[in-house]
Amino acid sequence: MDGSSEHDARLEVRGGRRLEGEVVLSGAKNSALKLLAASLLTTDPCVIRRVPRITDVATMVTMLRALGAQADPVGDGDVLRVHAGSGLSGCAPYELVRTMRASIIVMGPLVARLGEATIAMPGGCNIGPRRIDFHIRGLEKLGAHIDIDHGFIRVHSDGLKGAVVPLDYPSVGATENLLMAATAAEGETVIENAAREPEIMDLCAFLAGMGAEIEGAGTSTIHIAGGRPLHGVDHAVIADRIEAGTYLLMGAATSGRVTTIGLDPAHLELFLTKLRAMGVQVEEGEERITVSRDGPLAPVDISTLPHPGFATDLQAQTMVLLSLAEGTSIITENVFENRFVVVDELNRLGAGIETSGHHAVIAGPRSLSGTVVEAPDLRGGAALVTAGLVADGQTEVRSVYHIDRGYEDLTGKLRILGADVSRAGEGPRTEPEMPASLKSCDDEAVRSA
């Protein structure tokens, strides 16, 4: 063994191929993680289908096991069975929360199920501080008592009570935590200014399948009639709209013809409108979207916003397509504080992007040429692969583990579309370890609660 680890994995992308063909989408990362957490709300087993085989899911499975639940694959496909019977502990250890800040999503279900939760404070990440004040204030509105110290959030409730919970901002995670907590709150909860993402609707469908009474899923005002016991559910995750948008952008960038299978086009409505405005042909069908391009691209201006606005998770990848357009485009990033991290690496590939605060000015058309680049995060990594597909020569994308967090079998799916890509340099893949120091949940700092 050459001592290399999975963090040494890199992608070698040789540009110049047109992508042609169909790609079957995986289940949505940003829904699957929450459905896994929602399974904690019942003592019955839950079956979740079309779970993407990505490292964030492996981390969440490890988290559920650390909390005392059973979480196991059914067969060798994309089905997971979660059984959070008795013996649950309400503590999410630092090692796992540090690995995946979305772990915070177990807070709502734990306080609903157990009346308490101890969660290591999620750090920020390189796209922003990722605060959780809306989560905290919302849970307090439902009657939870929350202390934060020594790096842990300690939530306690003597019984949640339904309330009107206005969100300052339609936070996806806060909406999800509050939805799950509200199912156990006595009486009605109304979440105002709720997030409207398709993943929120999928969570509401999952909770309704468990016996929850929810109205307004997908709108800004969601009503939850709490206090009903929840039972098991068998549910298939919706397709991943960000994975879909990424492959559609790759097809347009390479002047190819790419069809995604499995996604309702309505989940990408504004994104597809922007592609058409750039001169990309877009055909929509029953859970099928086809893009093709045989002419020049026009520049467009884009502002990222909460759904149904333009998805921030497609912003970095779209910068690559705009670098090929005949003119200057402006992207305004309104969701995260620092989501232009990948710009420097894109410019090393020949892009001409200048940023100032929340604005990126993308000059085009630019000829990209391959070199060694470093993925800074999940979607930045996807942007670098997109650039590599059109760059002259070979692009070596390092820190591919970022990409593995959210894209199932990227290399395999790209090869099916005719791309010339390969993975190299990686050591043995390791499942996220059950942290040896689970005691971090009951060390002195926490015990002194």
**Which residues are the active-site residues?**
125
Rounded to a whole number of angstroms, the minimum distance from the CB of residue 33 to ligand EPZ is 5
Phi/psi for 318 (5° steps) reads -70, -30
Task: Kindly identify the residues of this chain, within the stretch 301-330, that bind ligand EPZ according to CB under 6 A.
Answer: 312-313
Q: How far is the CB of 286 from ligand EPZ (least distance, A)?
A: 26
**CA dihedral sign of residues 243, 247, 249, 253:** positive
- For ligand EPZ, the binding residues in 207-246 under the rule CB under 6 A are none
Query: Could you give the C-alpha distances from 199 to 80, 84, 101, 237, in angstroms and in order?
Result: 18, 22, 17, 9
Q: Which residues on adjacent β-strands are paired with residue 190?
A: 164, 223
As a whole number of Å, the CA-based R_g of the chain is: 22
Among 64, 97, 132, 233, binds ligand EPZ (CB under 6 A): 132
* Residue 335 or 390 having the CB closest to ligand EPZ: 335
Question: Can you say whether the dihedral through the CA atoms of 189, 266, 377, 81 is positive or negative?
Answer: positive
Size of the site for ligand EPZ (CB under 6 A): 25
Neighbouring C-beta atoms of residue 434, cutoff 10 Å: 13
Backbone angles phi, psi at 71, to 5 degrees: -145, 110
- Minimum Å gap between C-beta 242 and ligand EPZ is 6
Q: Pick from 134, 206, 310, 340: which binds ligand EPZ (CB under 6 A)?
A: 134
From 133, 192, 294, 431, residue interacting with ligand EPZ (rule: CB under 6 A)? 133
The torsion defined by the Cα of 308, 309, 312 and 315, in degrees rounded to 10, comes to 120
Q: Does 97 bind ligand EPZ (CB under 6 A)?
A: no
Q: How far is the CB of 128 from ligand EPZ (least distance, A)?
A: 5
**Beta strands at 257-261 and 20-24: parallel, antiparallel or unpaired:** parallel
Helix axes 378-390, 241-253, angle to 10 degrees: 20
Six token digits for residue 269: 């409505």
Of 238-297, binders to ligand EPZ (CB under 6 A) are none
Q: Out of 206, 247, 310, 336, which residue is the one contacting ligand EPZ (CB under 6 A)?
A: 336
List the x/- string, 159-188, binding to ligand EPZ by CB under 6 A: ----------x-xxxx--------------
Asked if the bond preceding 306 is cis, omega within 30° of 0, the reply is no
Report the residue from 9, 10, 19, 30 that binds ligand EPZ according to the rule CB under 6 A. Answer: 30
Question: Which residues have a Cβ under 8 Å from the Cβ of 363 and sit 6 or more positions away?
Answer: 323, 328, 352, 353, 354
Phi, psi of 332 (to 5 degrees): -110, 120
Using the rule CB under 6 A, which residue among 13, 33, 107, 239 binds ligand EPZ?
33
Q: Which is nearer to ligand EPZ, 336 or 401 (CB)?
A: 336
Whichever of 62 and 364 has its CB closer to ligand EPZ, that residue is 62
CB nearer ligand EPZ, residue 33 or residue 322: 33
Binding residues among 397-436 for ligand EPZ as defined by CB under 6 A: 406
> Distance between alpha carbon 2 and the CA centroid of its chain, in Å?
33
Nearer to ligand EPZ, 232 or 336 (CB): 336
Backbone angles phi, psi at 51, to 5 degrees: -85, 125
Collect all residues with Cβ–Cβ distance below 8 Å to 393 and sequence separation of at least 6: 14, 15, 369, 370
Instruction: Report the residue number, 268 or 297, with the smaller CB distance to ligand EPZ.
Output: 268
Answer for which of 130, 223, 288, 348 binds ligand EPZ (CB under 6 A) is 130
Reading phi first (left if > 0) and then psi (alpha if -120 to 50, else beta), residue 366 is in beta
Q: How far is the CB of 308 from ligand EPZ (least distance, A)?
A: 12
**HSE value, Cβ hemisphere, 13 Å, CA-based, for 434:** 10
- Shortest distance, position 176 Cβ to ligand EPZ, whole Å: 7
Q: Minimal distance in Å, beta carbon 307 to ligand EPZ?
A: 7
C-beta of 207: minimal distance to ligand EPZ in Å? Answer: 16
Q: Which residue is nearest to ligand EPZ, using beta carbons?
A: 173
| Sites of contact with ligand EPZ (CB under 6 A) | 29-30, 33, 102, 128-135, 169, 171-174, 312-313, 335-337, 378-379, 406
